[in-house]
Every structure is written in C-alpha cells, then in structure tokens.
C-alpha cells in the first residue's frame, strides 16, 4: 500500500446500513480511531424498527484495516443483541467506506460511511490541545 496516512480512518463518520427485504435503512454516527491499521471506536444509532420509540443504541467496534480493506465487529452495550460483522472497501481519498454487514447464519445487508471534514477534525483537535 502506498501512503499509509492517506488511509488513516481516524475521525467522525456518518453512515447508513440497509436491512434485507422490506425494512427501512437505519443511520449511525461513528467515531473511529485507526492506529496503524488497528481499528477501534464507538457507534451511536437510533433504535431500529423493532425497538420501542426513542431508543438510542450504543456499540463499540474493533477490527482492522489493510490497504483499502476494512473489517470490524460491532458489539452493542446490550450484549444479548447479535454481533454484526462488517467488511468494506475504503474509496480513493479515504473519506468513504462501503461494504456489507452480516450476522452469521442470519441477516445481511449493505452499509455506507462518509467521513466528516478533515479540516473540522483538525480544528477540534487543535482546540482540544489548546484548552
């Protein structure tokens, strides 16, 4: 891979994941930390169609990035929920990821993540350091 830094996925991401069949998609916000290809982070998402109204779901992610490929699992705070596995491709420029999620032996669907402005991220880091 050329340019390890160009594929650093650290930052804030907005995303959407699609369910199979007739269910509507759901959105999520992710904060990712990428340390040389080791991926960790947190996700916050609105409750799903199956949840009571007003529910907000939280999860941690852990996985890896190698070149333009990324894979991670999403572990919900509610440990009774199944653990989705995500596999995707980082698009040129490093600000978009698309791929597929699966719950092994059960459901699968597609997902798309778009990174917020890197200038905005740099400003947030600078303000944090100066405080």
pLDDT in tens, 10-62: 999 999 999 887 888 999 999 999 999 999 999 999 988 888 889 999 999 99
Q: Is 97 exposed, middle or buried (0-12, 13-18, 19+ CB in 10 A)?
A: buried
Global confidence as pTM: 0.83
Q: Tell me the two tokens of residue 124.
A: 């947030």
Q: Residue 54 is part of which domain span?
A: 4-130
Helices (H) and strands (E) in the chain, counts: 1, 8
Across the range 105-124, mean pLDDT stands at: 78
Residue 65, beta-bridge partner list: 70
CATH number at residue 33: 2.40.128.120
Q: Read out DSSP for 30-74? A: EEEEEETTEEEEEEEEEPPTTSPTT-EEEEEEEEEEETTEEEEEE
Structural domain count, the chain = 1
């Amino acid at each position: 891979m050329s340019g390890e830094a160009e594929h650093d996925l650290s930052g804030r991401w907005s995303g959407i994941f699609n369910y199979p069949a007739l269910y509507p998609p759901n959105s999520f916000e992710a904060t990712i930390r990428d340390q040389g290809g080791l991926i960790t982070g947190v996700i916050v998402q609105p409750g799903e169609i199956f949840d009571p109204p007003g529910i907000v779901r939280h999860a941690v992610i852990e996985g890896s990035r190698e070149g333009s490929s990324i894979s991670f699992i999403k572990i919900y705070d509610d440990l009774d929920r199944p653990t989705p596995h995500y596999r995707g491709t980082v698009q040129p420029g490093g600000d978009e990821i698309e791929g597929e999620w699966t719950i092994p032996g059960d459901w699968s669907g597609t997902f798309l993540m778009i990174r917020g402005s890197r200038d905005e991220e740099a400003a947030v880091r600078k303000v944090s350091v100066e405080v």
